[in-house]
Structure 1
Amino acid sequence: MTVESASTWPMPPQDGHTLDDLLTLPNLPPHTELIDGSLVFASAQREFHSVVIDRLMAGLRRSMPPELKAVRQMTVVLDKRNGPEPDVSVVRAEAVINRSQTCFTAADVQLAVEVVSPDSEARDRHRKPHLYAEVGIPHFWLVEMGGTDEHPVVHVFERSEVTKTYALTGIHHDRLKLSVPFDIDIDLSDVDNL
């Protein structure tokens, strides 16, 4: 392969990329995120990832109040150097403007959910929750594959107004039954039968 035939990727500016770059650079791969000024490209996802997102979306949509909406894999604007894309977000319904919308503000998000993938493990477990808590997103769920039957395990976190960090409020294996941010009851034991 010659240099001339190689794909050209955007060269990062000296101070890193900004949200404007994420939203306007042409030909970025789908589901590109902006984390700390770096463009992060998504790799192929495991079937587990897709099935769990579908199960959570169905369960959330069944139980959420009309003033909220569940959306999947949309950019959340945190600041000019951070635009992550949670796997699932619960946003204020009035924030959903039209079908061509590509992002939400952090103030619109009530819940961010990350389903851990091998390529994004450190970001999903550490960096993203820290960023979400910093900007005031009240609820965060981290979903991992557990056990020999590869079932979803949901770690539920709530943001403390005192510490401005997330505190673990529960770990759910077979059933996700919660009263905050609203009444939720999702069967996790049979994700293959949506």
Structure 2
Amino acid sequence: MKSWQTGALVASTVVSGLMAGLFAGFAYSVMPGLKQSGDHAFVEVMRNINVAIVNPLFMSLFMGGVAVGSVAVAGLWRGADRQLRAWLFAGLLSYVMMLGITTGINVPLNDQLAAVGAPDQADLAAVRSAFEDKWVLWNSARAIANLVSFGSFAWALVLLGRVRKTAPVSPIGGVPARPGW
């Protein structure tokens, strides 16, 4: 295996783990903490978080995860056995599912919350009611999708490590020479 292939898989694993941790952190600490807050505080804090999170680091990880995942899958696909391919594909597919949930559900909910206008001119209880439960549910779904992605990429690393230890290397490009590849 070429080092860039392994590097792309390591990067995919790290990024999916970081994103899983972010969304899980919201699921088990941020949102339960905000649930204890009044409507004004809830709306204000969520709006502030939704603005603050759109920063270069978050966007690089969020969008970069699918990029490095695609590079890892494409780079390793040809030389991989079925089992490794399945875990690579599961990791990338789960990450793409998280992107779909985020862009298709969570971001539109965030946009609706932002569009409410001045908090003193809105029925914050109604705004919160239309937002909170749905956002929490889909945040949990994307956390699970990212956890599956992280676990899949991590297991692919384990399998890749096993292949590298046991497979003789072909003289062409350093790819493991295993029957059926």
- TM-score w.r.t. the length of structure 2 is 0.23
Higher relative contact order (CA 8 A, sep 6+): 2
- Structure that is richer in strand per residue: 1
Q: Which of these two proteins has the greater Rg computed from alpha carbons? A: 2
